[in-house]
Amino acid sequence: MDKKELDRLTVGIGTALDELLEVAQLRAGQILVVGCSTSEIQGERIGHAGNMEIAAAVFKGIMPRLQEKQIFLAVQGCEHINRSLVVEEECAQKYNLEIVNVLPHLRAGGGFATYCYEHFQSPVMVEGIGAHAGIDIGDTFIGMHLRRVAVPVRVSINTLGQAHLSMARTRPRLIGGERARYIC
C-alpha cells in the first residue's frame, strides 16, 4: 500500500472509533479490544500476508484517541497464539489478568498484535479479557473477549481497506422477572 492508502486507513479507523466511543460511552480505565487482520485489509486471506505498515497505520488511528480518554487497548493475536491479547501491564494489574508466556510475531500473533507489543510502554500477554467494547477488522472473532452481553454498533464505515469492519459495545445483563425495572 502506498502512503495515501495508509493515511486513508488511519483516518477511516479513527472515524469508526470516534463513532463507537460516542455510542459506547467508555470511561477512563475501561477496555477496548481490537482484533485486526492486516492481511484482510489488503484483500488477502486472513493470516497469510501480515503487514507492519498497515498495522502502524491502524495503530496511529486508534492509540492517540484511547490515550486521550485513558482507555486501555487490548489487542487480540491470532489463533496460533490461542487468541491471547497484548495489554499494558497496568491493565493486567487493574483487572487481575493472568499473564501468559508468548511473544507475538508476524507469523504467529499477526501484524497488529506484533506492532502493538513493540509500541506499548510495558506490554504483557494475557489469555483472556472481558472488554467493554470492541472492534473487529477482518472477521477475527473478538467475541470471546467481550463481556457477556455484546450489542452490535453500526457506524458509517463498514470496511477498512478490503476488510469487513464490525463493532460492539457491552452492557450489564438484565436480570429479574416481570416486575423488574432496568436502567439501560
pLDDT tens for each residue of 118-175: 999 999 999 999 999 999 999 999 999 999 999 999 999 999 999 999 999 999 998 8
b (16+ CB within 10 A) / e for 48-64: ebbbebbbbbbbbbbee
pLDDT, tens only, 78-114: 989 999 999 999 999 999 999 999 999 999 999 999 9
Question: Which domains, and CATH codes, for the chain?
Answer: 3-170 (3.40.50.10360)
Confidence band (pLDDT; 50, 70, 90) for 178? confident
Q: What are phi and psi of 168, to 5 degrees?
A: -150, 155
CA distances from 163 to 12, 38, 139 (A): 12, 8, 8
pLDDT score for 176? 84
Is residue 184 scored above 70 in pLDDT? no
pLDDT, tens only, 3-44: 999 999 999 999 999 999 999 999 999 999 999 999 999 999
Is residue 48 scored above 70 in pLDDT? yes
Whole-angstrom Cα distance, residue 172 to residue 184?
8
